[in-house]
Structure 1
Amino acid sequence: MPALFRSCNTRRTLLCMSAAALLWGSSPAVSVQAARYYKLPELTTTTNSPTAKDSKETAAAARKGLYEQMSAATGIPWFRFAAIDQYERSVAKKKKSPAPSEADSAEAPARLTGISIPAPVWSGPLNPDQEDKFPESITLFGGFGRDGTGDGIADPGNDVDVLYSMAEHLLKYGRSASDFSIGVWEYYHNGRAAQRVAQFAKLYEHFGRLDLSGSAFPLPIGTNYAYRSTWGTGRSWGGARIHEGTDLFAPHGLTVRSTCFGVVETKGWNRYGGWRIGIRDIENRYHYYAHLMGYEKSLSRGDIVIPGQTIGWVGSSGYGSPGTQGKFPPHLHYGIYRDRGITEWAFDPYPLLKQWENQEYRQLKKNKNKK
């Protein structure tokens, strides 16, 4: 949750309260330099029902077009807008909402971005009208909202206005990558959020696209390994705890591969997991590989990886001080965690592992049939 509305100082509070009585009689001379009438990209529709894949690709293309438009208008690289948007999407709680009526659909076009700014932030914490859309009064009350389309309205439901408002906030801190991280921290007041947004921006900048959905099984397909669902079983070392992952038993030294496009977030010793490595993907999931024999030497924290890339080798490290080996048979412990902004929780990776394994087997069979 953004924390801007909690950071108003006493002086601003007094000014806002004293100005409230004069607000509707006169407007302050506020200069709002809008993004100059950029029009929202429209999602194309066809008479035939589009597939889910087509709809997803169309929406992604429209979003990227919007990011690039805002980049041209503000000078902020498109991948930074994309990173904030993706972070908001990854931590948003999915709610079942009733189907919109025809009147609602006509009045409110579908949003392209997932950035949602709370009313006290958008309008100003002391603004008597928490649905205020007038830029002058929003600015007077220290609100976040700005007019990016040039229509005289600062609408929190308009993607251009939202992204332009975010740009105005970020540009107060500068244009460099470090300035961007400071601006993100000042918006969320959450170090984890700033880290995630920086990771996502790095991924988008590196690959130059929004679709980073590829995957791979963590061990080479066709090699000697075995696994089953072990989620929630008790552990024999380290106190009362449950097994948050799946154990894939394999020969010592077998290659361990990245399951995703991602950024190396952690690398080193953990007394439970031994030599372990953690990778963050674009969906804000943390992929955890433990009990390794060792790492790919060229890999460091902050590096970008792709599905199927070698990251280490199966071992039996852990359950003790650095270097402890052999307290259990060699295997890869694979866990996956989802960050929801405030907390990060584990979920059973077994269904995903079976899905990725089957996908690779099908692809191998398809390639074989082509020969």
Structure 2
Amino acid sequence: MKRLIVLLLVFSIISPSIVSASSDEQAKLYERRMELYKKFETITHIPWYYLAAIDQYERNLRYSRKDLPKPEGAIGIHFSKEEWSGPLNPVQEDTSPSTISIFGGVGQDGNGDGTANRLDDEDVLYTMAQYIQSYGTDHDNIKIALWDYYQRDKTIDLILGHMKIYKHFGTLDLDKHAFPVPLRSNHSYKNTWGDRRGWGGLRIHEGTDIFAGYGVPVRATTYGIVEIKGWNRFGGWRIGIRDLNNTYHYYAHLNGFAKGIEVGQIVEPGMIIGSVGSSGYGPPGTAGKFPPHLHYGMYKDNGYSEWSFDPYPHLRAWAREERNRK
């Protein structure tokens, strides 16, 4: 028993420093990224929040796909060897700007050291910024540049959404989360992702049900943009919010929406977006076919498609995070 008490005391002493160290490292990483965005904003006149949005989108792809290497530096933008050095270049990891140019590669020297290294943060960000700049520096031309580069409407929407969030808050430090309903409210939930569901045809349950009384406030869990709002035959009154991790957060069976919530609106953790209800499974206005609860789902976009994943571990973590803040 004494040993346990000692261990607890030791942990209580060292754990804040561990958390602080981790927070300090993250703060330094954000500071470094912002320095790079601002540097190349000055050079290319591409506003920093566009560069941050592209970088964040690509970083998310690299974490969600197995065919892309995980990011190692501060910048997450990825160029393949063929893109960077040129498809016919015999030197796959060429760092010479002159020969890269001869073979049609995109790689450029962004820090003036005479080399174009596709693993160097400054070279990578400068190369992307120069590509965007070749189309123009206003919003419409940047949008055209993004389309020509990615050729996917959804990708353009995600990047421009990220841009709006960064521009609105003026910072990269947007990692805070909140639980979907007030922690002090009378609610309950368990892991129901993947369970069988029969309404509207046999399928799996793509979310976690949080049971609470009618009218309990429903809150945004993350920084993001309202992507959809309205009625769905199965989900009833529902809202969809896209965050900076390319993740779509789906809130269904609402009793109603918070005043002023509209598609395209920027939200932040804890912001009230609606209330718990039992709407759905019928034409607009249908309700009461099941106990009031919030269906909370999460979907990841990987640049090709979107799929559901289990929100339960995230909900548990966000509840702990919110309690710790208080």
**For this structure pair, what is the TM-score category when the shorter chain's length is used for normalisation?**
0.7 to 0.9
Residue 39 of structure 2 aligns with an amino acid whose one-letter code is Q
Q: Which moved more, 1:162-171 or 1:135-144?
A: 135-144
1:166 CA displacement: 0.8
* Pairing partner for 1:75 from 33, 40, 45: 45
**Equivalent residue, structure 1, for 2:190:** 228
Residue 59, structure 1, aligned to residue 21, structure 2: no
1:113 CA displacement: 0.8
Looking at structure 1, the residues matched to 286 and 59 of structure 2 have their Cα atoms a distance apart, in angstroms, of 40
1:332 CA displacement: 0.7
From the superposition, tell whether residues 323 and 178 of structure 1 become closer, same or farther in structure 2 (CA, over 3 Å). Answer: farther
Looking at structure 1, the residues matched to 245 and 105 of structure 2 have their Cα atoms a distance apart, in angstroms, of 30
Rg larger for: 1
Looking at structure 1, the residues matched to 94 and 188 of structure 2 have their Cα atoms a distance apart, in angstroms, of 60
Residues 177 and 322 in structure 2, CA contact (< 8 A), matched pair in contact too: no
Looking at structure 2, the residues matched to 74 and 266 of structure 1 have their Cα atoms a distance apart, in angstroms, of 34
**Equivalent residue, structure 2, for 1:241:** 203
**Equivalent residue, structure 1, for 2:269:** 307
From the superposition, tell whether residues 362 and 143 of structure 1 become closer, same or farther in structure 2 (CA, over 3 Å). Answer: closer
Residues 192 and 205 in structure 2, CA contact (< 8 A), matched pair in contact too: yes
Residue 342, structure 1, aligned to residue 279, structure 2: no
From the superposition, tell whether residues 363 and 145 of structure 1 become closer, same or farther in structure 2 (CA, over 3 Å). Answer: closer
* Pairing partner for 2:139 from 171, 174, 177: 177
**Equivalent residue, structure 1, for 2:62:** 92
Residue 273, structure 1, aligned to residue 243, structure 2: no
Residue 105 of structure 2 aligns with an amino acid whose one-letter code is G
TM-score (norm 2): 0.86
Looking at structure 1, the residues matched to 250 and 227 of structure 2 have their Cα atoms a distance apart, in angstroms, of 10
Looking at structure 1, the residues matched to 297 and 74 of structure 2 have their Cα atoms a distance apart, in angstroms, of 32
Looking at structure 2, the residues matched to 168 and 138 of structure 1 have their Cα atoms a distance apart, in angstroms, of 15
Residue 191, structure 1, aligned to residue 153, structure 2: yes
From the superposition, tell whether residues 161 and 361 of structure 1 become closer, same or farther in structure 2 (CA, over 3 Å). Answer: closer
1:354 CA displacement: 2.3
1:179-235 residue CA offsets vs partner (Å, 9 max, x unmatched):
222212211222222221111111111111111011111112222222222121111
**Equivalent residue, structure 1, for 2:289:** 327
1:137 CA displacement: 3.1
Residue 149, structure 1, aligned to residue 133, structure 2: no
Residue 347 of structure 1 aligns with an amino acid whose one-letter code is F
From the superposition, tell whether residues 363 and 69 of structure 1 become closer, same or farther in structure 2 (CA, over 3 Å). Answer: closer
Residue 85 of structure 1 aligns with an amino acid whose one-letter code is D
* Pairing partner for 2:76 from 95, 114, 121: 114
SS at match of 1:92: helix
Looking at structure 1, the residues matched to 119 and 43 of structure 2 have their Cα atoms a distance apart, in angstroms, of 20
Looking at structure 2, the residues matched to 219 and 60 of structure 1 have their Cα atoms a distance apart, in angstroms, of 29
**Equivalent residue, structure 2, for 1:163:** 125
Residue 30 of structure 2 aligns with an amino acid whose one-letter code is A
Looking at structure 2, the residues matched to 269 and 284 of structure 1 have their Cα atoms a distance apart, in angstroms, of 23
1:273 CA displacement: 0.9
SS at match of 1:51: helix
Looking at structure 2, the residues matched to 348 and 95 of structure 1 have their Cα atoms a distance apart, in angstroms, of 17
Looking at structure 1, the residues matched to 310 and 65 of structure 2 have their Cα atoms a distance apart, in angstroms, of 22
Looking at structure 2, the residues matched to 242 and 284 of structure 1 have their Cα atoms a distance apart, in angstroms, of 23
**Equivalent residue, structure 1, for 2:9:** none
1:95 CA displacement: 9.6
From the superposition, tell whether residues 359 and 146 of structure 1 become closer, same or farther in structure 2 (CA, over 3 Å). Answer: closer
Looking at structure 1, the residues matched to 324 and 90 of structure 2 have their Cα atoms a distance apart, in angstroms, of 60
Structure 1: 5+ residue stretches without partners: 1-47, 97-109, 365-371
Looking at structure 2, the residues matched to 224 and 255 of structure 1 have their Cα atoms a distance apart, in angstroms, of 11
1:79-117 residue CA offsets vs partner (Å, 9 max, x unmatched):
111111111111114799xxxxxxxxxxxxx73211110
1:363 CA displacement: 4.4
**Equivalent residue, structure 2, for 1:3:** none
Q: How many residues align?
A: 304
Looking at structure 1, the residues matched to 325 and 223 of structure 2 have their Cα atoms a distance apart, in angstroms, of 19
Residue 272 of structure 1 aligns with an amino acid whose one-letter code is F
SS at match of 1:226: strand
What percentage of aligned pairs have identical amino acids?
51
